[in-house]
Amino acid sequence: MAKKKIRVGLVFGGRSGEHDVSLASAKSVIENLDREKYEIVPIGITPEGRWLLGTEPMQMIAARQQEHEAEAGSTTAVTLTGDPSVRRLIPLQDGEPLNDNGALDVIFPVLHGTYGEDGTLQGLLEMANVPYVGCGVLGSALGMDKEKMKMIFQSAGLPVGPYRAYRRNEWERAPEQVLNTIEQQLGYPVFVKPANLGSSVGINKAHDRAELAHAMNVAAEYDRKIVVERGIDCRELECAVLGNDEPLASVVGEIVASSEFYDYAAKYIDNKSQIVIPAAISQVTAEEVRRQAVQAFQALDLSGLARVDFFLERGTGKVYINEVNTLPGFTQISMYPKLWEASGLPYQELLDRLIELASERYEDKQRNRTTR
């Protein structure tokens, strides 16, 4: 008798500035999950937030190119049932119940950015009592919020570069005061970022007051909180972490950006940036980066996976932790899987391990008492 396949709900797309990146990641995961082990249930989320069962990443990519919602074909608008004992999807429109051949065994979110990587989806999955790949509600939220993340890094004794954080209303109420403070305390150049976004969306480098004002306005379009960081003359290093209570760090890689910094175009459009794995750094520096990566992972209470980004200051050789990414890009050429491949864990085996970790974390959480 054939062994029952694990039913994996792959969730992708989403209401985020990183929607298109998510589609590319999902396409790669679908192509590489072992069909002998897994039954894949693709669940696409449109930019408007509709959950569509049966859609594929390529369908959604085509729909994006044609500027219409990806509801063609046999897709069905769905949501998770409110009954945590069954883990099923239910249709939103009237009609017959879904013939979905059973409950979902695990959810594999391949959602980057807001409403997918920030704890909101994770909270929904916790309520539905479904095991899922990646970090929990708290870790996901902290890993998305660059201000709170930095505060926890500092409290854990990790080296963080100088920065300031502002609320959108602070900037809009007193822009001249904000600009003066940034100039006095950070100087130029500075990087201005939305506090809760990834893939370098909404990020700008400012060399003078006019560029700084523009960068603040752009960041304020994406989030109510803005983080401003002092520019550091540095090399950009990245390390992948995998695990739950006993996480492991990969080899260290380096990003050599094609532009002045590793912005969205340098990451996804011009194909000129270089990835160097392993990074050409000393063993002492590599071990320090790996140590800090694991420490950051534990300080934020992360689980499953995360990519941790660092700056290596030229001249001093000092390592600064920049940020974590709790749902990094997942194409076969993305940094997270490439770092693990270089560490001896191929892409397909990495997917297996992430699903195993999701089940381990779920089983451990079932030990918690929820009643008196």
Q: CB–CB of 283/210 below 8 Å?
A: no
**CATH topology match: 143-159+233-364 vs 163-230:** no
pLDDT at residue number 254 = 97
Cross-strand bridge partners of residue 226: 166, 194
Give yes or no for residue 279 having a pLDDT over 70: yes
CATH for 6-132 is 3.40.50.20
Q: CB–CB of 323/227 below 8 Å?
A: no
How far apart are the C-alpha atoms of 273 and 6, rounded to whole Å? 37
Give yes or no for residue 222 having a pLDDT over 80: yes
Question: What residue segments make up the domains of the chain, in order of their start?
Answer: 6-132, 143-159+233-364, 163-230
The tens digit of pLDDT for each residue in 46-105 reads: 988 889 888 888 777 777 656 655 544 557 788 887 778 778 787 776 555 555 556 899
- Give the pLDDT mean for 130-134: 97
Q: Work out the percent of the chain whose per-residue pLDDT is above 70.
A: 89
Q: The tokens of 238 are what?
A: 């990245």
Predicted model pTM: 0.90
Say whether 34 sits in a helix, a strand or coil. Answer: coil
Pairing, β 6-13 against β 319-325:
unpaired
CATH-assigned architecture of domain 143-159+233-364: 2-Layer Sandwich (3.30)
Give yes or no for residue 268 having a pLDDT over 50: no
Give yes or no for residue 272 having a pLDDT over 80: no
Please enumerate in sequence order all residues whose Cβ is within 8 A of that of 92, keeping only pairs 6 or more positions apart, or say none.
51, 77, 78, 79
pLDDT level of residue 1 (50, 70, 90 thresholds): low
pLDDT at residue number 126 = 94
Q: Work out the percent of the chain whose per-residue pLDDT is above 90.
A: 72
Give yes or no for residue 21 having a pLDDT over 70: yes
Of the options 3.40.50.12280, 3.30.1490.20, 3.20.20.70, 3.30.360.10, the CATH number for the domain spanning 163-230: 3.30.1490.20
Give yes or no for residue 198 having a pLDDT over 80: no
